[in-house]
Structure 1
Amino acid sequence: METFFKNIISFSLIMFCFLKVEKVQSLVPYYYFPTISNLKKESSSIGKNAYQLLYFGQYEQSLNLAKLAVKINQTDEKLWLILSEAQVANKLYKKALNSLNKAQKINSNLSEIYFAKSNIYFKISQLQNAKTALETGLSIEPNNHKAIFQLGNILLMEKNYSEAIKLFDKSVKIKPDFWQAINNQGLAYYEKNNINLSIKLFEKAISIQDNAEPLLGLASCLRITDIQLALQLAKKALTKDPNYVDYDYRKEQLWGEKLQRSTEILLQNDQLQTDVILAESKINASS
């Protein structure tokens, strides 16, 4: 019996202590402290959402999310790249370059950083800086056909037609259906007075992509030798993209002075005036 009472007392004391501990614990607030790993996952998820918003044209919302992602995790160069893209979309070019500089400090061997820089420099007409950034990126990723093409575009703007053609040819060898590079070879050869080769290149570009630019380029090439086909092609080009009726727009697409003169003469043809007026009205309506 004595042993029984001792056991009862011991059990009661244990329960008392347990209840006291539970009571004390119930008064202590509980806080969740996320781990570094969880924070990184969260920032990555926010960055992806920012990129999706950017894709759908929601530029301001994308910028806000990208800023948040970088604030959570400043050691991920990919988040800085996303932020720079959002900043470019919002025309914050200086801030975008600063973001890319921070990405470069984290990982200087990422070619995308230099290609993104070249794009910004190109937009703000700093061609030498754009060229340098492209060359640095290509030293890391030498077979990037888009970067090679962009470098060719800079040489085209500098009227270094022979070297531009070489680069366009190199990008096409990497990606044979890259019609934009084939088209720009046509632009370069026209300025070198090799109109026959321009015709072949514009035709090849059209066979890959029935786009307004090579259509109008080919029309300008054929203006003297086959005016009816030239008019037909020009009508089709202006229907596909009315912007090509505008001299300044074609200049932005890197059309040279000789091809521009030929195109202006073609667009003054009486049989094209209805199409020209319609194209101009569409441009004015959208502006």
Structure 2
Amino acid sequence: MFNLLQPIVEFYTNYKDTINNLLSGAFPAIVGYFGWLIWRHRQRRIPEKSYQALKIKPDDYEAWYNGGNALVNLGKLEEAIASYDQALKIKPDDHQAWYNRGIALRNLERLEEAIASYDQAVSIKPDYHEPWYNRGIALGNLGRLEEAIASYDQALEIKPDYHEAWYNRGIALFNLARLEETIASFEQATKIKPDKGQAWYNKACCYGLLGNVDLAIENLQQPINLNPDKYREMAKTDTDFDNIREDRQFQDLISP
């Protein structure tokens, strides 16, 4: 009688090393994928659990707050905001709920409302650097650059090693054409995070605008070391380098 398993057994016997190697290499990815599925399932379950709790106890702050967080993770931002609003009716002095509400509003590009939410967070907890930082981003996106810089300054007073705040502060200063201050801000960002190529590049742009060939080249060399193709291509057409474009050293640097 023909054994249906025989071809499978023979195949495995002949190629078992290859099969085992493939499974061994794939195992972490498989585990990671199933871990993600479990996490996603649990996130979907959290709002359900929260709503069940709220049927029993409608003034359960934790249920509203946790439900809001889970809804954000699921991308249901409008529902998340409504959930945070309910939580804040019960506990209006929770800085974290105000902050998370602000993030959800920012992701919906409702920037004025996001700023108002961040304002509530920092009025309750003035030493919380994240709302100050995200407030700065929202203000910058609205073109309110001086206010954005002041907000970044508040974040940096609390957390001086916050390289993202130094970097975005530099962007705001650059848009105000305050180049010397821009350079100082990007300098802080690169001291804290030396592999932040865009900060090095932007600093080089400032020196290019100022016509300082040596410092432009010195700073442009850093991002090119990190990602040669990307930053060489950017520099080739970036008008910030027009003042030094004909310099031989600059041309040598941007040519592979």
* TM-score bracket for the superposition, by shorter chain length: 0.5 to 0.7
Report the alpha carbon displacement of residue 237 of structure 1 after superposing the two structures with TM: 5.2
Give the CA RMSD over aligned residues: 3.4
Aligned: 1:166 with 2:184: no
Q: 1:99 aligns with which of 78, 83, 97?
A: 83
Gaps of 5+ in 1: 1-52, 247-259, 275-287
Q: 1:234 aligns with which of 209, 216, 223?
A: 223
Normalising by structure 1, report the TM-score. Answer: 0.60
Q: 2:45 aligns with which of 65, 68, 71?
A: 65
Q: What CA deviation, in whole Å up to 9, does each residue of 1:220-244 have, x standing for no partner?
A: 22334234324312324547xx79x
Decide whether the 8 Å contact of 2:201 with 2:220 is kept in 1.
no
Aligned: 1:144 with 2:128: yes
Gaps of 5+ in 2: 1-31, 245-250
The separation in 2 between residues aligned to 1:273 and 1:68, in whole angstroms, is 58
The separation in 1 between residues aligned to 2:168 and 2:102, in whole angstroms, is 19
SS class of match (1:108): coil
After TM superposition, where is structure 1 displaced by more than 6 Å over at least 4 residues in a row?
A: 263-266
Decide whether the 8 Å contact of 1:63 with 1:83 is kept in 2.
no
Decide whether the 8 Å contact of 2:50 with 2:66 is kept in 1.
no
Structure 2 partner of 1:40: none
The separation in 1 between residues aligned to 2:84 and 2:170, in whole angstroms, is 34
Q: What CA deviation, in whole Å up to 9, does each residue of 1:4-42 have, x standing for no partner?
A: xxxxxxxxxxxxxxxxxxxxxxxxxxxxxxxxxxxxxxx
> One-letter code of the match for 1:262?
D
Structure 2 partner of 1:262: 240
Q: 2:186 aligns with which of 191, 199, 202?
A: 202
The separation in 1 between residues aligned to 2:243 and 2:41, in whole angstroms, is 46
Report the alpha carbon displacement of residue 97 of structure 1 after superposing the two structures with TM: 1.3
Q: What CA deviation, in whole Å up to 9, does each residue of 1:80-120 have, x standing for no partner?
A: 33332232222211111122122123322211111111111
The separation in 2 between residues aligned to 1:237 and 1:184, in whole angstroms, is 20
Structure 1 partner of 2:207: 222
Decide whether the 8 Å contact of 2:136 with 2:149 is kept in 1.
yes
Report the alpha carbon displacement of residue 273 of structure 1 after superposing the two structures with TM: 7.3
SS class of match (1:184): helix
Structure 1 pair 195–79 and aligned structure 2 pair: CA distance change class (3 A) = same
SS class of match (2:212): coil
The separation in 1 between residues aligned to 2:174 and 2:86, in whole angstroms, is 42
Larger CA Rg, structure 1 vs 2: 1
Q: 1:186 aligns with which of 158, 170, 175?
A: 170
Q: Percent identity?
A: 19
The separation in 2 between residues aligned to 1:79 and 1:264, in whole angstroms, is 58
The separation in 1 between residues aligned to 2:188 and 2:172, in whole angstroms, is 15
The separation in 1 between residues aligned to 2:66 and 2:241, in whole angstroms, is 40
Structure 1 pair 175–82 and aligned structure 2 pair: CA distance change class (3 A) = same
Normalising by structure 2, report the TM-score. Answer: 0.67
Decide whether the 8 Å contact of 2:106 with 2:114 is kept in 1.
yes
The separation in 2 between residues aligned to 1:263 and 1:134, in whole angstroms, is 38
The separation in 2 between residues aligned to 1:83 and 1:196, in whole angstroms, is 46
The separation in 2 between residues aligned to 1:57 and 1:220, in whole angstroms, is 42
